[in-house]
Amino acid sequence: MLKGKLKLPEKTKRVFPDRLGSLVAGFENKAEENGGSDLVFDSGEELEMILPNGYGSGRESQIDEEDEDFDDEKLNRESDLRVQQRPDREGSGSLSVLAAIAADDKRSDLEYELSQPEINLEKLQRIASSGLPDGGGLRATAWKLLLGYLPPSRDLWEKELIENRQKYAKLKEELLLSPSQITKRKIGDLSYCDQPADGNVDGPLKRSEISEEDHPLSLGKASVWHQYFQHTEIAEQIDRDLQRTHPDLKFFSGESSFSRKHRESMRSILLLFAKLNPAIRYVQGMNEVLAPIYYVFSTDPNEQNAVNAEADSFSCFVRLLSDSVDHFCEQLDNSAVGILSTLSRLSELLKANDEELWRHLEFSTKVKPQYYGFRWITLLLTQEFNFQTILRIWDSLLSSPFGVQDMLLKVCCAMLLCVKSRLLSGDFVANLKLLQRYPDINIEHLLQVARDLSSDPSSYRLSLPL
């Protein structure tokens, strides 16, 4: 097993870590208790489950889930998207035509850029920041490039994908086997060296010696059975959380064969991450962060890419989480890279752009960033908006030249600025409810406000019309 600490790969670096668990090497296992802090995530800890905005009931036609096949999966996937894409009916027909033309131009620009022998990442970032088109696998390919999973050179794509997918398969084979399978591999049922030369195995069978570490009743921490039972609890928590992942989307929910297949793939990804990262393990909410990546990759119309969505999603999930993994480490809460420091940066950004609103939240109503910003930041806004809007926001997050966290804080700050008038007129209870159940909003306006903010809070002030 390799040691050392894995850092978030640079855009130009395409190295798949041999042991992704080294991401947090050097940290000791987290304590099981919270210590009373509302800001601490522990393994399997329950968070308040708030359904994303914009969902309703009775949104899809009823389909017999006892007879699901590939066509049903496609039908449900398209139904999910049609429900979530709520066009603005207030606009005129001419505006709709102009929007369609602009969308076609953007798609053409993106297709042209992705067809080049050498991808211009800066140009790709500019295109993605304004939103990637749905369909055609364009978003899947663009996200893989923006996350550094695919190299800019198209000639290297096939080689990189094959190597990374093989490494994932090997990790999965090594770490997701049951203890009985591991033991059987170690001792063998009847190894060739133990068999008689003539192949006659009549008579009493030879008892195979099992070491203490391999015994099911062993209490040693090094015992594979001890580790198995420990991870069984995590697996059960993952299963519960996956059942609640976007329950209104048939892609994730229900008992159809394809939804069960998707949950099983996501379960393997999350459990493997937990085993490779014992200092973090699994924290409730990671399923929400994984969901957009897995959805985009598994709905790629390229059959080969869709079949390998699990392996690709795992690598990109790790890369994405590497940028914010310190937020999940209780030991680092008070450090310069911990969640409290990040929340402080959000507060400073708000103060620099609207001191009046900052003072009202901090002193008048005492609505601290940890009451709302903790979930916004750690879960990358996946609990605040409907699924299609999440994909649009992530286009901007992943395409930020300054990193995901930089753009994430800008979006969080913009969310406050866009409801300024309501916050100024509200008390503690009203403001807390507003920010924990963020209202429907024009997402393009929100993202434009976020883009207008400076990375340096002291260098920019934004005045918004109320």
The DSSP string of 351-406 is HHH-HHHHHIIIIIS---GGGTHHHHHHTTTTTTS-HHHHHHHHHHHHT-TT-HHH
Q: Is the pLDDT of residue 458 over 90?
A: no
- Nearest Cα to 118, choosing from 165, 146, 151? 151
Task: Give the residue from 289, 305, 322 where a domain finishes.
Answer: 322
Q: How many domains does the chain have?
A: 3
Alpha carbon separation from 338 to 187, 352, 372, 409, 432 (Å, rounded): 45, 22, 16, 14, 23
Cβ pair 277, 23 in contact under 8 A: yes
Give the per-residue pLDDT at 407.
97
Distance CA 307, CA 297 (A): 9
Distance, C-alpha 213 to centroid of its chain: 35
- 10 Å Cβ neighbour count for 344? 13
Mapped onto helix, strand or coil, the DSSP state of residue 320 is: helix
- Of residues 161 and 192, the one with the higher pLDDT is 161
Residue-level pLDDT at 9: 43
Q: Are 431 and 365 spatial neighbours (Cβ–Cβ below 8 Å)?
A: yes
Strand partners, 153: 118
Instruction: Identify the pLDDT of residue 98.
Output: 85
Among 293, 322, 351, give the residue marking a domain's end: 322
Q: Which of 35-49, 88-102, 170-184, 314-328 has the lowest average pLDDT?
A: 35-49
Q: How far is CA 26 from the centre of its chain?
A: 24
Rounded mean pLDDT of 203-228?
A: 59
As a whole number, mean pLDDT of residues 340-349 equals: 94
Residue range 160-182: mean pLDDT, rounded:
87
Decide if 334 is inside a domain.
yes
**Do residues 371 and 434 touch, judged by C-beta distance below 8 A?**
no
Measured distance CA(370)–CA(376) in Å, rounded: 10
Task: Give the residue numbers spanning the domain of 133.
Answer: 107-155
Residue type (1 letter), 162: I
CATH number at residue 143: 1.10.10.750
Same domain, 341 and 260: no
Q: Within a domain: residue 251?
A: yes
- The pLDDT value recorded for residue 83 is 44
Over range 47-53, report the average pLDDT: 39
Return all residues near 286 (Cβ < 8 A) that are at least 6 apart.
Answer: 270, 273, 321
Does 357 reside within a domain? yes
Question: Residue 39 pLDDT > 70, yes or no?
Answer: no
Shared domain for 161 and 150, answered yes or no, is no
**Arithmetic mean of pLDDT, 149-162:** 98
Whether the pLDDT of residue 461 is over 90: the answer is no
Is 100 domain-assigned?
no
Both 371 and 445 in one domain: the answer is yes
92-101, 142-151, 153-162, 335-344: which range is least confident on average?
Answer: 92-101
Residue 419 pLDDT exceeds 90 = yes
The answer to whether residue 447 is domain-embedded is yes
Residues 255 and 386 in one domain: no
Q: Are residues 240 and 355 in the same domain?
A: no
Give domain status of residue 365, yes or no.
yes
For residues 168 and 17, is the Cβ–Cβ distance under 8 A?
A: no
Enter the tokens of residue 338: 């911990």
Maximum separation of any 2 CA atoms in the chain, in Å: 91
Q: Decide if 300 contacts 313 (C-beta within 8 A).
A: no
190: Cβ contacts below 8 Å, ≥ 6 apart = 201
Per-residue model confidence as pLDDT tens digits over 368-417: 999 999 999 999 999 999 999 999 999 999 999 999 999 999 999 999 99
- Whether residues 146 and 180 fall in one domain: no
Q: Distances in Å between the alpha carbon of 44 and those of 24, 239, 296, 434? A: 18, 11, 26, 27
How do residues 243-286 score in pLDDT, each as one tens digit?
999 999 999 999 999 999 999 999 999 999 999 998 889 998 99
Instruction: Identify the CATH number of the domain in which residue 251 sits.
Output: 1.10.8.270
> Which residue, 271, 301, 322, sits at the end of a domain?
322
Task: Identify whether residues 430 and 352 lie together within a single domain.
Answer: yes
Q: Are 249 and 337 members of one domain?
A: no
Residue 306 token pair = 């869709």
CATH number of 336's domain: 1.10.472.80
User: Does residue 147 share a domain with residue 295?
Assistant: no
> Which range, of 64-73, 392-401, 415-424, averages the lowest pLDDT?
64-73
Pair 340, 235 in one domain: no
Query: How is residue 361 written in tokens?
Result: 């939240």
Looking at the fold, whether 297 and 171 belong to one and the same domain comes out as: yes
Over the chain, what is the mean pLDDT?
A: 78
Q: CA torsion 225→230→231→234, rounded to 10°?
A: 160
User: Can you tell me the distance from the alpha carbon of 381 to that of 94, in angstroms, rounded to the nearest whole number?
Assistant: 33
Asked whether the predicted pLDDT for residue 328 surpasses 50, the reply is yes
Q: Is residue 62 part of a domain?
A: no
Residue 168 has pLDDT above 70, yes or no: yes
More confident residue, 328 or 33: 328
Fill in the DSSP letter of residue 148.
T
Residue 198 lies in a domain: no
Q: Which range, 16-30, 202-216, 256-270, has the best average confidence (pLDDT)?
A: 256-270
- The letter for the amino acid at 36 is G
- What is the rounded distance in angstroms from the CA atom of residue 248 to the CA atom of residue 52? 10
Statement: residue 447 has pLDDT above 90: yes
CB 116 within 8 A of CB 155: no
pLDDT for the residue 227: 65
Q: Residue range 138-166: average pLDDT?
A: 98
Q: Are residues 283 and 400 in the same domain?
A: no
Q: Name residue 455's amino acid.
A: S
- Does residue 117 carry a pLDDT above 60? yes
Q: Looking at residue 231, what is its pLDDT?
A: 78
> Sign (positive/negative) of CA torsion 53, 57, 58, 60?
positive
pLDDT at 307: 97
Residue with tokens 């916004």: 376
Provide the β-strand partners of residue 43.
283
For 317, the token pair is 């999930």
Query: Which two tokens mark 319?
Result: 């890369």
Task: Give the model's confidence band at 338: pLDDT under 50 very low, under 70 low, under 90 confident, else very high.
Answer: confident
Tokens for 28, please give them. Answer: 């000791």
